[in-house]
A and B are shown apart, each in its own frame.
Chain A
Amino acid sequence: MLFKDQLYFVRENMKKNKMRIFMTVLATAMGTAFLIVLASVAFGLHDTLIKDVLEQETVNQVQIYGKDDPNSQGITDEDIDYFQSLEHVRAVRKQSYLRQSPRVSLNGYETSPHTVAVDMGALETGGTPLEDGRYATSSDEVVVGYHFYEQLLKEDTDPEDMYDENGERIDDTLYQGAVIGETIDLTVSRLINETDTEEKTYQVTIVGVTAEPANEWQQDQTLYTTFDFYQSVSEYTGTPGGELYFQEEPMDLTFYYDEVTIQSNNLENIQTLTKTINDEGYYGYSVASELKQINMLFTIAKAGLIFIGAIAVIIASIGIFNTMTMAVTERAPDIGIMKAIGASPKTIKQIFLLESSIIGIMGATIGTLVSYLISFLVNIGLPMILEAVFEEQLPDGFQFSSIPWTLVIIAYTICLLVTLISGSRPAKKATKIDVLSALRREL
């Protein structure tokens, strides 16, 4: 029997009991929609979280914190050369923290910023763009962070007068002028004996301001200097990085990098790169490895929700079993005639399995379409409801429900499998119909 004819038979049979078929398809569609919508929450939240992580500029970076070597004091230029020789490396950004916060004076405003010596070239290629100006090219030039100006305070400002009753910074207390092109006095201290200090002031020019960080909660108030400046401070204080520490004997001023960030040319290679570096004995960390844990957590959540959703489909399958059993009982005389003519048990079974599969496919298709509609409405409506009821605004790009094609495939597979199982017993029953008994019923 041709498949086309089997389909014709099924269609004709389904037409005979439209209402019953409709109700069965409806139950299956509801089960499938429940499964998809339920699981789509895990998919939606996962997508949102992943998107959030991927938006961080640190996502395709491996941060190196040191080396697993007792003789090693830190990361040296030799190590940097090794990192640069690795595959998939786009840039190696290295930095060393000044061990004291120098005092900065700018037109009557003062601050003591966190100061970092960086490789300006790598800063440029390593994804730290400038909002304005240019990168520093000599030891008397610096770049400041986007929020640097916010911490500049007038010399006589009382910290209590800086904020209003709502905790907002009062505009008058902020530095108002442009910072680019301004020359600042950078004063560093050193201990000349156990208790006394003396200071040295460097005059440096602000030549650039970094771009605003990607996330609102990130603050960049750093003062970026060159390694030459860093070395110059080390030589003045006689301690590495200008640390306020007194020692009679001259200290070893060998230069080490405190932090090295390796940027990969591709997010997909980040895990390979991290593994290579860690295998070589370095302490490397990448946000991407956190992604692995997030993915694992959400995979478990998705599987759990799909399992709960599948129960709804299984409940709907009771309807299919009932419908198919009734169909077999009602059509027993026709089945008897077909068998008497020469229909094989296999053909009879195929027709009934096809019918239950079609019910399953119709249910899954309608359920999927309804799920997309629900998902769409939830993504639009939920932020509005949350805003209206709780006065909470969800972050931009927040997705409560997401239905990827893989979820649709999973739902279809579960639905089809369950309908085939529930249809198989009635189909088997149809093949067992005794021709003579069926023909006698026809009388």
Chain B
Amino acid sequence: MIEVKQLSHQFELGKKDKKTVIPVLQDVSFSVTKGEIVTLVGRSGSGKSTLLHLIGGFLPRQSGAITINGTDVSNFTEAQFAEFRLGTIGFIFQNFQLIQSMTAYQNVELPLILQGVSETARKIQALETLEKVGLKGFEHHYPSELSGGQQQRVSVARALVLNPLIILADEPTGSLDSETEEDLLHLIKELNDSLDITFLIITHDDEVAKIGHRSLMMHDGALIDQEVK
């Protein structure tokens, strides 16, 4: 489902004459099969977020290759990646990244709007998805009126609503307390079991790492180990 080959990346900081080059990824290669939950663990600055952003198309690739669901996305333009992302990849962010001026329903409806789905069809899909994540009755609540756990569920519903093949999650439980974290992990497991969605989750939380079929360990921009459960 996801295949990363010899991916390297570096950031350039400073002005022209005083440029500092910081390597963040070095020759990273791994693959994720369909229906797998893979967690990427490592300390801060180990390069796991950069790796996720490259796979998600938020950063332009410098070297190496990325194939998602058989499509080589290595040379995609921003517009091509946006279109590809919409139908294939869902995102869950640590800070939920919900649009504050929109209700839970409107946030979940947003990907359907971008895909050009008709109003009637998207109403059904958005409400069903909100129900699936346990937010029935919270449709008209704004993010500020929801708890952290509920906001993250809205974020999951938004990632799910277009039935993606892959969900990329960046520290999904980072802003949640232990009880809501447990609920969310249970939900992810359930979605993986029932819908066969592939998850690639970044975390440095052991509890999160436990739900994965595999854990990839990163250190200083390189994959150093993997643990199969």
Contact = CB atoms under 8 A, between A and B. Distances in A.
A16 B59 contact: no
B193 interface: no
A167 B82 CA distance: 89
A347 B78 contact: no
Interface in A339-355: 339-347
Q: Which of B56, B79, B113: most chain A Cβ within 10 A?
A: B113
B146 interface: no
A342 B111 contact: yes
B27 interface: no
B83 to A, nearest CB: 6
Q: Which of B101, B118, B158: most chain A Cβ within 10 A?
A: B101
A344 B113 contact: no
A340 B97 contact: yes
A244 interface: no
Interface size range on B against A: 20 to 34
Given A12-B101, A342-B85, A345-B79, A436 B114 contact: no
B113 to A, nearest CB: 5
B95 interface: yes
B58 interface: yes
A423 B197 CA distance: 41
Contacts of A341: 85-86, 91, 110-111, 114, 158
Q: Which of B82, B85, B99: most chain A Cβ within 10 A?
A: B82
A344 B99 contact: no
A340 B118 CA distance: 22
Contact of B101 (A16, A436, A442): A16
A106 interface: no
A340 B58 contact: yes
B53 interface: yes
A442 B95 contact: yes
A389 interface: no
Nearest to B78: A345
B6 to A, nearest CB: 23
Contact of B83 (A2, A4, A342): A342
B122 to A, nearest CB: 9
A435 interface: yes
B70 interface: no
A443 interface: yes
Q: Which of A16, A342, A443: most chain B Cβ within 10 A?
A: A342
B116 A343 contact: no
A2 B85 CA distance: 18
A344 B101 contact: no
A347 B87 CA distance: 16
A2 B122 CA distance: 12
B84 to A, nearest CB: 8
Nearest to A436: B58
Nearest to A440: B95
Interface in B52-66: 53, 56, 58-59
A347 B85 CA distance: 14
B58 A337 contact: no
Interface string B160-185: 00000000000000000000000000
Contacts of A12: 101
A12 B103 CA distance: 13
B99 to A, nearest CB: 5
A21 to B, nearest CB: 16
Contacts of A435: 58
Interface string A318-346: 00000000000000001001111111111
Nearest to B86: A342
Contacts of A5: 113, 116
Interface in A393-443: 435-436, 439, 442-443
B132 to A, nearest CB: 18
A379 to B, nearest CB: 48
A346 B111 CA distance: 15
A1 interface: yes
Nearest to A340: B91
B82 A442 contact: no
Interface of A: 1-2, 4-5, 12, 16, 334, 337-347, 435-436, 439, 442-443
20 contacts: A2-B116, A5-B116, A334-B101, A337-B97, A337-B98, A340-B56, A340-B85, A342-B87, A342-B111, A342-B114, A343-B114, A345-B78, A345-B82, A346-B79, A435-B58, A436-B58, A439-B95, A439-B97, A442-B95, A443-B95
Interface of B: 53, 56, 58-59, 78-79, 82-83, 85-87, 91, 93, 95, 97-99, 101, 110-111, 113-116, 118-119, 158
Given A342-B115, A345-B78, 19 more contacts: A16-B101, A340-B58, A340-B91, A340-B93, A341-B85, A341-B91, A341-B114, A342-B83, A342-B86, A342-B111, A342-B114, A343-B82, A343-B114, A344-B79, A345-B79, A347-B114, A435-B58, A439-B93, A442-B95
